[in-house]
Amino acid sequence: MRKIVSQLFISLDGVVEDPHTWHFPYFNDEMGIAVDGVLGRVDTLLLGRRTYDSFAGAWPEREAAGGEDAPFAKVLGDARKIVASHRPLAPTWRNSELLQGDLLDAVTTLKNEPGESRIAISGSVSLVRQLLAAGLLDELNLLVHPIAVRKGLRLFDEAETPTPLTLLSAETFATGVLNLMYAPAAPAAEAGYDDAKGHLPRSAQED
């Protein structure tokens, strides 16, 4: 079964909207390697419509321009791009197609395709939320920037039930960005202060 991994630029206060307005000062070689490790090593991209339109409006021109970002632009262009959207798609970016049918059914079928290559999601917050809630997202890569943006769409909206995750790996970049890889987890066991107080330092307990 193929795995789906999502990568998001995110602020300390959880904002994921319009990262191009705040994250570039933190983009160094370490982050370039992290982005390449997710987006540059897959043959299939699963994208929401807003992210797709943004990518399709920029990366083909960057590939054609032949600049230093052209090789990465070519990788994205060569990848199969599946767009989750309720609107018709008239793709101008090669290898693009509209996801057909129910989102969760279609993604389940996609995961069951032969092969072990990963499917990557960049941005596409609504898509990430739905797949995470349905148990179809295998890994969530958060590049946490040391800035509180204080406005904009956040990754996790308000809901009645929590979303438990388990940390697979953690790395700190020279810029202070945290490269965190999570996977879905089973709900945490019930616990309260009586369970926690035994782990307090002895001096704190005596106070």
What would the pLDDT profile of 107-124 be if each residue is shown by its tens digit?
A: 999 999 888 889 999 999
Of 56-60, 67-71, 158-162, the least confident: 158-162
Q: Which CATH architecture has domain 4-206?
A: 3-Layer(aba) Sandwich (3.40)
pLDDT at 181 over 80: yes
Q: Where are the domains of the chain?
A: 4-206
Q: How many CA atoms does the CB half-sphere of 147 hold within 13 Å?
A: 16
Here the tokens at position 78 are 């060569």
| Of residues 129 and 161, more confidently modeled | 129
Residue positions counted in the chain:
207
Q: Cα–Cα distance between 194 and 154 in angstroms, integer?
A: 33
Q: Is the pTM of this model over 0.85?
A: yes
Q: Cα–Cα distance between 162 and 16 in angstroms, integer?
A: 19
Sign of the C-alpha dihedral, residues 110, 154, 135, 75? positive
- The rounded percent of the chain whose pLDDT value lies above 70 is 98
